[in-house]
Amino acid sequence: MNFELFIAKRIIGSKTYKSSVSAPIIKIGIAAIAIGIIVMLIAIATGLGLQQKIRDKVVAFNGHIIIDNYDTNVSDESQVPLSLEQDFYPEFNTVEGISHIQGTANKFTVIRTNSDFEGVVIKGVGKDYKWNYFEEFLVEGRLPDFTKALNNEILISKHLANRLGFGVGDSFQTLFTENLERLPKIRKFTIVGVFNSGFQELDEKFCIADIRHIQRLNKWKSDQVGAFEVFIDDFSKIEEKGEAIYREIPSLMKSTTVTRKYSTVFDWIKIFDSNTYGIIAIMILVAGINMITALLVLILERTQMIGILKALGTANWSVRKVFLYNASYLIGLGLFWGNSIGLGLLFAQKYLKLFPLNPDTYYVSEAPVYISWDYILILNIGTFVVCLLMLLIPSVIISKISPVKAIRFD
């Protein structure tokens, strides 16, 4: 059996160990590591969760990469059409990692009621539209069906429904104005579903309807759209894929990633990375300092034992290993309780939604959490290794202890 590990187990298992002077300090050290792990888990899970949720909401309305015309149009309204007769449509096979591409068209309109009106953008979609994101956002009714004949079904946000007093099954008129010299064109839509993405900046702007309405209003052909929305498999490669797509499309088209189109939003959520790294560094430092204190007290308390082991010929490193094994047990205990409590809180938030957030500030209505065993494992291993490395320095004090002085009894 490992000699140092055997001695460490005897120390840990002894009754005097649990009732010694160092016991309260050891408990504080364990608590510091547990609290540190809890805080780090919450910081990483909520930071990643918030980034992922906001990213998914933006992607739901735009795709990962938008392909449209080179022009001076900076509005959300589609003006110059693109033909569906493209080499990259309906399958973008020349660039790897693209999961889907769809044609869309936007047009500004005014919703008119008996007592109110609201300006919105009608997002026209067709048979190729990917509804995955809006299935998650749907809170009432159903998704529109645009796979058959042209219909007047429309999907609106909960924000607009509440503002205008609409519900599923209600109808309303919209006014489309080409120019001030002509009367506006009127279209009537029937609400079949209400969605709530929680991203008010987009919820208050967009409604989803059949793209054929936009094509008719703009006098486009049935094979013309305003833009192509591209979805990719790996968001971390969005800039790389954006460049690759740009090289494959005609010279009169451009590709824009959502990270550039909504640069302010994505720059804001990047701040969470810096905050998370700062929290991890502080928590590990605090936990390490507490463990250093606990180890020093433990060494001082066991000075006579150290002297006896040295007198019997035990090397300094061997004695140091005894206390490092002891410290490893304490770190492991702190990690166990920290993970148990931290993961319990995260799963409770994930399924019970205990902590709400202001959507006007954070773009989500509750604190989202992202739980992955990858970062949990890396965080635990990293914390354990860093704390143990920090303990190597104070353990040097063992080599300074003289056996003669240590085992002297006054």
- Claim to verify: residue 146 and residue 191 sit in the same structural domain: yes
Is 275 a domain residue?
yes
User: Residue 139 belongs to what H/E stretch?
Assistant: strand 138-141
DSSP state at residue 123 = E
Same domain? For 100 and 212 the reply is yes
| 278 shares a domain with 241 | no
pLDDT score, position 131: 92
Q: Is the confidence at residue 400, as pLDDT, over 80?
A: no
φ and ψ of 181, to 5 deg: -85, -15
As a whole number, mean pLDDT of residues 204-218 equals 92
Instruction: Find out whether 228 and 68 touch, Cβ atoms under 8 Å.
Output: yes
Which position has the higher pLDDT, 278 or 297? Answer: 278
Q: Quote the pLDDT of residue 322.
A: 81
Inform me whether the pLDDT recorded for 130 exceeds 60. Answer: yes
Measure the CA–CA gap between 349 and 343, rounded to whole angstroms.
Answer: 10
Residue 66 lies in a domain: no
- Any residues with CB less than 8 A from the CB of 317 and at least 6 apart, and which? none
Which whole number is the average pLDDT over 279-307?
81
Q: What percent of the chain has pLDDT over 90?
A: 35
The reported pLDDT for the residue numbered 325 is 83
Furthest-apart CA pair in the chain: how many Å?
A: 108
| Residue whose tokens read 């492991």 | 332
Which of 251, 286, 314 represents a domain boundary (last residue)? 251
In terms of residue numbers, what domain contains 233? 71-251
Local confidence band at 18 (pLDDT 50, 70, 90 cut-offs): low
**How many domains are there within the chain?**
2
Distance CA(64)–CA(257), nearest Å, equals 6
Measure the CA–CA gap between 209 and 215, rounded to whole angstroms.
12
One DSSP character per residue, 276-343 reads: HHHHHHHHHHHHHHHHHHHHHHHHHHTHHHHHHHHHTT--HHHHHHHHHHHHHHHHHHHHHHHHHHHH
In a domain, 330, yes or no: yes
Q: In whole angstroms, give the CA distance from residue 4 to residue 156.
A: 69
Which structure tokens are listed for 64?
Answer: 């990962």
Residue 367 shares a structural domain with residue 321? yes
Phi, psi of 223 (to 5 degrees): -105, 25
Residues 153 and 233 in one domain: yes
Query: Does some domain include residue 396?
Result: yes
For the entire predicted model, the pTM comes to 0.78
The pLDDT value recorded for residue 79 is 85
Tokens of residue 323, six digits: 């206390």
User: Could you give the 3-state DSSP secondary structure of residue 365?
Assistant: coil
Does residue 80 surpass a pLDDT of 90? no
pLDDT score for 378 = 92
d(CA 307, CA 401): 7
Q: Is residue 65 part of a domain?
A: no
- Pair (385, 363) in one structural domain: yes
The verdict on 40 and 75 lying in the same domain is: no
Task: Name the pLDDT band for 303 (thresholds 50, 70, 90).
Answer: confident
184 neighbors 177 (Cβ within 8 angstroms): yes
Q: Which pLDDT tens digit goes with each residue over 111-126? A: 988 888 888 999 999 9
Asked which of 251, 285, 302 is the last residue of a domain, the reply is 251
Q: Determine, yes or no, domain membership for 256.
A: no
- Shared domain check, 271 and 142: no
On whether residue 123 sits in a domain, the answer given is: yes
Task: Give tens-digit pLDDT for 135-152.
Answer: 888 999 999 999 888 999
Decide if 118 is inside a domain: yes
Which of 221, 251, 281 represents a domain boundary (last residue)?
251
- 208 & 306 share domain: no
Question: 79 and 205 in one domain?
Answer: yes
Residues 211 and 116 in one domain: yes
Judgement on whether residues 219 and 80 belong to the same structural domain of the protein:
yes
Q: Report the chain's mean pLDDT, rounded to a whole number.
A: 85
The dihedrals phi and psi of 168, each to the nearest 5 degrees, come to -60, 130
Average pLDDT over residues 271-281: 84
